[in-house]
Structure 1
Amino acid sequence: MATSEDEHKQKPAEGQDVQMTSDDISQEELQLEQALRHLKLLHIKSRGLRTTIPRMLDTITTGRTPEEVFSTFKTAVTDAQTEIRDFAELYNSEESRKVLEQAQKSREAEPKGIKPWRHKDDPNWFFLDE
């Protein structure tokens, strides 16, 4: 049978319990902020891909000679390939997988009350540092 002294040793002090909770919350907030930053970067890169083909086609109309047109188009295609590769690597990264899995778990746990995000509600959405 445990004595009252043993029970006192097993229980954390009130201040410790509150501190642990505060540390847990700040750690969770830090993880959420990092996840949001990662999602924001992913979103910015995906939105940038929308202009990939128009940017490549713009090079065709700006050249004066066929050699210039070909050269600028070739450069634009290479740049587009790099952008697509960068996005694919970011999207398929371990961090993206973890963030998207956490979002799925959160939606399953609380499916109601999730407010859709609107870009007009956040005018600085396209800037990573803001």
Structure 2
Amino acid sequence: MANNGVDGINESVIANQGQPGPTSQQEWDGEHLQEAEKTLKEMYIQLRQLRSTIPNLVASLATKQASPEILFQQLSQAALTANSEVKQFREIMENPQSRQLFEHASQSRAKNPAGITPWRITDDPDWLKRDS
């Protein structure tokens, strides 16, 4: 898993945790919208990477190992990696900035439900690439 900051979480996401943002009733300015987009992008990248967690866990079981100790070591390492990836995703999903982002999106959608076009990954081919 390629990391772009501390434990795979964007440094800008971490830097903004705990900082007061605009209240949910205010309109967000361009800077807040860009930070929200970065947060959503990081969430999406981490979520997509979690799709390979189970296959990575069982990969060592699919090949014949020289000894049970090697099998145990590989399985243990895969479990630690999977646990770390899930923990990182939970942290970004549960942080206050993410909760505020989802709350703002829900309120915006409730206030103006018409004309919301669904986002498609084909709209932005670089969506899975972390910003430098």
TM-score (norm 1): 0.75
Determine the structure 2 residue equivalent to 1:29: 30
The one-letter amino acid paired with 2:129 is F
Larger RCO (alpha carbons 8 Å, 6+ apart): 2
Question: Quick one: distance in 2 between partners of 1:99 and 1:119?
Answer: 20
- 2:62 corresponds in structure 1 to 61
**What SS is found at the alignment partner of 1:129?**
coil
Q: Percent sequence identity over matched residues?
A: 35
Q: For 1:28, give the aligned amino acid.
A: D
Unmatched runs of 5 consecutive residues or more in structure 2: 1-26
Q: Which has the larger radius of gyration?
A: 1
Question: Alignment length, in residue pairs?
Answer: 105
Q: Which runs of 4+ in 1 moved over 3 A?
A: none
Q: Which residue of 1 aligns with 2:10?
A: none
Shift of residue 72 of structure 1? 0.4
Which residue of structure 2 lines up, in the alignment, with residue 18 of structure 1? none
Shift of 1:121: 1.9
Name the counterpart of 1:51: 52
CA root-mean-square deviation = 1.7
Task: Give the corresponding residue for 1:123.
Answer: 125
Amino acid at match of 2:101: V
String of CA shifts for 1:54-83, please: whole Å, max 9, x gaps: 011112234332211110000000111111
Q: Which amino acid aligns with 1:73?
A: L
* Amino acid corresponding to residue 102 of structure 2 in structure 1: L
User: Normalised by the size of structure 2, how large is the TM-score?
Assistant: 0.74
